Amino acid sequence: MKKSLLFLFTFVFAASAMTALAKNPNEDNSQSANNSAKNKVELQQEKETKETGNKNEEKEQNREEVQNKITEKKKANISKYESRMTKRLQAAVIRLEKIATRIESRIEKTNDKINTAKATTLVEEAKEKINSLQPKVENINTEIESLYESEDPKTLFKEVRTNIKGIVNETKEIHQILTEAIQSLKAQPTADETGANE
């Protein structure tokens, strides 16, 4: 057993000495191999940084394109909203004007038969509000056009929407006034009815 251990020990020692000797004469080859490996690694890293730089630039361009598409879609949606609401509000104003003129004609026809003072004042009030409402409806277009030039169109669009809601509420108020005028006309007894009651 001693002989085998001794043999093993000498073999390991001799092998390690041979590897040390083998390294010394080929040291220049290993350094050149190391240098070429380092150069390859550096070239690979440069190549990767160029590729990542190109990828980052492409990503940035894609983001800008997507952002432009989104803003174009938003502008198109805002334009559709504006045209739709303008048409609706103009139609509502025209309807209210027609209703007011019809009530006025009814007041003129029944002026001799019933008391139309309340209805007349209500119709005059409604006509004044209709006249003040028309410029507001026409200004919606200019407000929407300013959205396209604005730096913060989101907040400006919120303002436009609140203005439109205000106009819608005004049309509702005018309609309520005209409804009251019609009810006041219907509630008045005619001259025939008052004569029959006496």
Enter the pTM of the model: 0.60
pLDDT the model gives residue 198: 42
Residues of the chain with pLDDT under 50: 24-27, 196-198
51-59: Cβ within 8 A, 24+ apart: none
List the structure tokens of 157.
């669009």
Tell me how far apart the alpha carbons of residues 149 and 67 are, in angstroms, rounded to a whole number: 16
Tell me how far apart the alpha carbons of residues 172 and 134 are, in angstroms, rounded to a whole number: 14
pLDDT the model gives residue 96: 93
Q: In the chain, what are the domain boundaries?
A: 64-190
Using one digit for the tens of pLDDT, what is the confidence trace for 85-106? 889 999 999 999 999 999 999 9
**CATH code, 64-190:** 1.20.120
Using one digit for the tens of pLDDT, what is the confidence trace for 162-178? 888 999 999 999 999 99
List C-alpha distances in Å: 75 to 67, 148, 152, 153: 12, 7, 13, 9
